Chain A
Amino acid sequence: MKYSDLLHGTLDTLILRALADEPRHGYAIVRRIEAETGDAVKVEDGSLYPALYRLEKKRLIRGEWGVTDAGRRARFYRVTDAGRRQLAERTAEWERFSLGVRRMLERSAE
């Protein structure tokens, strides 16, 4: 996988990860990503929904209408089986990539 693809796919992977434990609506996904990454990753303005619908079209996640705790209608997304496989692959790739980068950076610091 090319470097640019890897970065580009980051948001998708993070969304999948954010949904891995339970279904969430859009706002909750953003909150989750920001909390988990310690605010290191900010979801770029206006990029969430195109990503969500793209993932849904690829059948990696599935949206269904439900009701929030506050009683408002919201679309909750959950990861499909295909999404979980994708998440596992991406995670492995990312680990290989970051391990490589870290090795390189640490060595040159010596």
Chain B
Amino acid sequence: MSARRLRQFGHNLRSLLGWRDAGADVREEMALHADLRATELEALGVAPADARRRAEREVGSSDRIVAAVVPLAAATDRASAFGQRASEFIHDLRHAVRLFRRSPGFSVVAVVTIALGLGANAAIFTLVNTLFFRPLPFDPEGNLVRVREFRQAADGTRNNVDASSRTADATAQRRDLFTSSVAMVGTTRALLRDDGPLHVQGTRVGPGYTAVAGVTPVIGRTFSVEEERTAAPVALISHRVWRTLFGGRPSAIGQYMRLDDRSYEIVGVLPPAFHIPYDSEVWFPSRFAEDERSVFILARLAPSVTLEQAISGLEPDAQRLNQLFPDQMRGMGITAVRARDYFLQNDHRVALALMGTVGVLLLIGCANVALLLTTRFAARRREVAVRAALGCGRGRQIRQFVTEALLLFSLGGALGLVLAVWLKDTLAVFMPDPLATQVGMEAMPVDATVVFFAGVLSVAAGVGFGLIAALRATRADLTSVMKDAGRSLAGDRSRSTLRGLASAEIALALLLLTAAGMMVETFSRLQQRDLGFEPRGVLTLKAGTESQRYADGTQRLAFADQLLERIRLMPGVQAAAITSVNPLCCGDWGMRASVEGIPVASQQDLPIFQHQLVTAGFFDTMRIPIVRGRAFTPEDRTGREPVVIVDERAARRFWPGQDPIGKRVKRGMPDGPYPWFTVIGVAGTIEDRGEYTDAWYLPLAQHPAGPSSATLHLMVRAADPTALVPAIKTASAALDPTLALHDITTMDAVRSERLLQSRMGAIVTAIFAAAGALLAALGLYAVLSFVLAGDTREIGVRLALGATRARVVSYVVARGLRLAGWGILAGVPLAALMSAGIQELVPEARFNTITIVAAGAALAIAALFATAIPAVRALRLNPLDAMRAD
């Protein structure tokens, strides 16, 4: 092969592959020119060597010139290659649109399948997007942090505790770490109105509250420096309070409102859905005592200071406080958490579980579309072969097919986004509480990030699944097509792709069904679980006794006793009691205590009891069994022997194998100032109380001013609890017209509320799983129909040779079940893996074999249904027609 032919070959190869070597082109072109010019010069009588040199100089065949020209040529090539691709793409797109118009049924099914999958994904992603990516409305830079304290026990465990005002002062002085910070303390107040007292959550705030929190009043103004310094009686109110109590009138500004015993002038209204901290509704300036507890600190990180730097930067302050106040601050440390993480409170797990589920659903939907595309493309095998024979490259053909897939997926994606807008609001229930109620992020908009997500997903799925179908379809060669023309619609290769897709769908559907099974099982278990008390039939109300009037505790006790007395006389009331903690909600109130006879080295090593103050009748009202000893009676009051009731778990832990009655426990260290309490009874254990596993109950009458929040929880058991509400309100108003009863609900409702996420999680995954199983069954049906259409002749032959109809049907059904069987087999280990992931995200969830067996059985039944129609079709075959079948 001569050098020129070799070059020619190389050129052909390059152009075949679609790229050109610009340098080689330029050189070849110039060589020709030089040759021609040299010939011309020679004809004019120039000596051959001279002629060549002169020709080359004129043409400019020097490397310098070539080097200058090549980039120009290459740029032109690239531009024209791009133009070529673009025009091909437009051509393919037109072709695809024509094809889809020709078979609208197929197109609609495919687009709707994709739209459902992508719509569900986009909807769940709006939730994920809001949880993880959208900035908090008042914290666009993400530099807002909450500063907290923790106590480190001797064994190294850390407990986060509320901060103290000392830590707040220390934080405020660290201008190198924080540009600003503010301390606040939540307080419940009775807002006194003409029609009775109203409970409101208030916040005492230090200087600079609105600036640090990043809000400006929507009307009115914020506090002046002078007002903050003097703790003037001025207040900001929430948008909600403004709307509901002041009718949303601007004239609210300047009005006075009475909170307990003091009047406040309203100076401003904060933006809608802003309730920081703790669902606050009113804010007023306040000064803090030097060692105030329960302080909520917000701070803005200084520019270029990271959270980690801030935390380690606060270490010296913690050490200093440790040394200055060894009694209160021992083992104390300061830490900080980003506002976003604080508001999220680890509550994103359900969202992630849902995202995974819906992702699997999308995969099934895409596989189904790939199936449809494969059968469609397979039907065009002859077209492919002919085009290939006419010189259309495989790459070009694949691009054509993938463009078709892309068109379907883009349409589906666009429709899916519309669907997502409509679906997403039902998902607001999965929004973690503080994010929704304090920060107002429950809107979950379909923003640019969501659109981008849906776009990337559609394109990736379109290319990926389009390729699966296209690679098979374009592998045909002319001879094999001609050879088996008329025998089967698709070659064995297409069939194996189809079978693989169908089995994969079944495997994925098994995952979904298993996930749904786990979620449903979790919910029903949680719902039916014996809590250790009977929430049904109990009304619960809170009475805020924070006003000065109840400061010494005996008044509070007197109020409680009188109110209970009146309530017990009401018709239908079976029992009534007051407790410091609602056992269904927010029950973490730990207290370190000593158990007589169990020595400990230091305060930090003391066990922590879940601490609860109750009146006599509490155990009756809640139907908590007293398994040993006795319950409290009205005789357990101040002046009598201090008594305590522990729960069974504590009894087992501290006095295993012994009778706990008569044993003694006390608050704090054994040699501390508090009295010993004698155990008089053991109560049944209440499940799921939170952080502290061992509980003790103390009679409220012996601890009137005891360590308790100022809120009393009233529990009333009655035949028709809600009917009592007006009577109880009247009774309360008669005792104290300024006291606000609030959060009036039934324990049943509190429980449903707590299980709402679990219930919605179960419902949503069940819907996804049902959709997934349905899609997988449809996929199986499509594959069987397609494969059998190709086997018509074979079946005809078998029938003609005497096969019974029963055999033919069992042949068809066996094929279907074999595909489903492979899918289920492949799905089981995947489902086991996934269940571990679900348990990670939803700790209450449990994996059991029954779930997976039920899922497999459900799929087998679905597969049986999917084979029914093709089987009946095979049954109806006329052998003669079938043998002639094309």
Contact = CB atoms under 8 A, between A and B. Distances in A.
B28 interface: yes
A49 B30 contact: yes
A25 B30 CA distance: 10
Interface in B59-80: 59-60, 62, 65, 68-69, 72-73, 75-76, 79
Contacts of B73: 53, 56
A57 interface: yes
A30 B30 CA distance: 13
A30 B55 CA distance: 12
Given A53-B72, A53-B73, A56-B72, A46 B59 contact: yes
A83 to B, nearest CB: 14
A45 B28 CA distance: 18
Given A26-B30, A27-B33, A74-B29, A56 B60 contact: no
Interface of B: 8, 25-26, 28-30, 32-33, 36-37, 57-60, 62, 65, 68-69, 72-73, 75-76, 79
Given A27-B37, A75-B29, 14 more contacts: A30-B33, A46-B65, A49-B30, A49-B69, A50-B65, A50-B68, A50-B72, A53-B72, A54-B72, A57-B72, A57-B79, A72-B32, A73-B28, A74-B32
Given A25-B32, A73-B32, A74-B32, A49 B59 contact: yes
A27 B68 CA distance: 19
Nearest to A65: B25
Contacts of B79: 57
Interface bracket on A: 20 to 34
A84 to B, nearest CB: 19
Interface string A75-92: 100000000000000000
A108 interface: no
Interface centre among A45, A49, A57, A74, by most chain B C-beta atoms within 10 angstroms, is A49
B60 A53 contact: no
A47 interface: yes
29 contacts: A25-B29, A25-B32, A26-B29, A26-B30, A27-B32, A27-B37, A30-B37, A45-B58, A46-B57, A46-B58, A46-B59, A46-B60, A46-B62, A46-B65, A47-B60, A48-B33, A48-B60, A49-B26, A49-B29, A50-B72, A53-B72, A53-B73, A54-B72, A56-B72, A57-B76, A57-B79, A73-B32, A74-B29, A75-B25
Contacts of A56: 72-73, 76
Instruction: For the complex of A and B, list the 7 residue pairs with the smallest distance between their C-beta atoms, beginning with the closest.
Output: A46-B60, A53-B72, A27-B36, A27-B33, A26-B33, A75-B29, A57-B76
Contacts of B26: 49, 53
Interface centre among B25, B29, B75, by most chain A C-beta atoms within 10 angstroms, is B29
A26 B27 CA distance: 12
A47 B60 CA distance: 7
Contacts of A46: 57-60, 62, 65
Contacts of A72: 32
B33 A45 contact: no
A45 B72 contact: no
A57 B72 CA distance: 6
B60 A45 contact: yes
A25 B69 contact: no
A48 B59 contact: yes
Contacts of B25: 75
Contacts of A68: 32
A26 B30 CA distance: 8
A48 B26 CA distance: 12
Interface in A39-75: 43, 45-50, 53-54, 56-57, 68, 72-75
A97 to B, nearest CB: 28
Contacts of B75: 57
A18 B719 CA distance: 106
B474 to A, nearest CB: 28
Contacts of A49: 26, 29-30, 59-60, 65, 69
Nearest to B7: A73
A50 to B, nearest CB: 5
A46 to B, nearest CB: 3
A49 B65 CA distance: 8
Interface centre among A43, A53, A57, by most chain B C-beta atoms within 10 angstroms, is A53
A32 B699 CA distance: 116
A80 B156 CA distance: 81
Contacts of B65: 46, 49-50
B56 to A, nearest CB: 9
A90 to B, nearest CB: 20
Nearest to B32: A74
Contacts of B30: 26, 49
A39 to B, nearest CB: 13
Contacts of A73: 8, 28, 32
Contacts of A75: 25, 29
Contacts of B62: 46
A42 to B, nearest CB: 9
Nearest to A74: B32
A22 B557 CA distance: 110
Contacts of B68: 50
Interface in A15-42: 25-27, 30
A75 B8 CA distance: 14
A57 B69 CA distance: 11
A48 B76 CA distance: 17
Nearest to A26: B33
A44 to B, nearest CB: 9
A56 B71 CA distance: 12
B20 to A, nearest CB: 10
Nearest to B22: A53
Nearest to B8: A73
A26 B28 CA distance: 11
B634 to A, nearest CB: 101
A25 B33 contact: yes
A59 B504 CA distance: 51
Nearest to B73: A53
A27 B867 CA distance: 73
A103 B425 CA distance: 82
Nearest to B28: A73
Contacts of A43: 58
B81 to A, nearest CB: 14
Contacts of B32: 25-27, 68, 72-74
Contacts of B8: 73
A62 to B, nearest CB: 9
A75 B33 CA distance: 10
Contacts of A26: 29-30, 32-33, 59
A82 B29 CA distance: 24
A48 B69 CA distance: 10
B76 A53 contact: yes
A27 B28 CA distance: 13
